[in-house]
Amino acid sequence: MKIIANSAHQTSVEGQKIIDLPNDADPLTLDLAGVARIDLHFPKFSDGRAFSQARLLRQRLKFAGEIRATGDVLIDQLVQMARCGFDVAVLREGVDLADAQRQFDRFSAFYQGDVLHPQPHFARAA
């Protein structure tokens, strides 16, 4: 997962179709033709609906473009974001990039499956 500072986040990029999806919208109703990136918003850290949206986009809709987490993104949520299908996380103001990267160093493997590796660890090792 790529982690970027809030100041480096661009809401639009020339030549790319980007969807900014509110966390109360149904991703199953989207027309994903030509979409390069979908920004999913966390209005506050305790609102996790964007996790479900990311999983729906990856698993049901087979969206292969970039899914970006924006808003109140906390360091302790980054690993779960990656496991749900996010590619990029935009950290809120004042959060250190090095501290955020350490989360991935702490948790390098998981027993249960996720969006990227649906089989549990014991099935992959066999």
What pLDDT is stored for residue 114 in this prediction? Answer: 75
In the chain, the domains with their CATH numbers are 2-125 (3.20.20)
Q: Edge-to-edge strand order for the sheet containing 2-4?
A: 2-4, 88-90, 66-71, 35-42, 17-21
Query: What local confidence, expressed as pLDDT, does residue 109 receive?
Result: 64
**Predicted pLDDT at 58:** 93
Give yes or no for residue 120 having a pLDDT over 80. no
Residue type, 6: N
State yes or no: pLDDT of 123 exceeds 80: no
State residue 45's pLDDT score: 83
List pLDDT tens digits, range 31-84.
999 999 999 999 998 899 999 999 999 999 999 999 999 999 989 899 889 889
Beta bridge partners of residue 88, listed in sequence order = 2, 68
pTM, rounded to two decimals: 0.84
Residue 122's pLDDT band, with cuts at 50, 70 and 90, is confident
Nearest to 1 by CA among 71, 105, 111, 119: 105
3-state helix, strand, coil in the chain (%, to 5): 35, 20, 45
Structure tokens given for 59: 């698993």
Give the DSSP H or E segment for 38.
Answer: strand 35-42
Listed residue (52, 80, 85, 55) closest to 68, CA to CA: 85
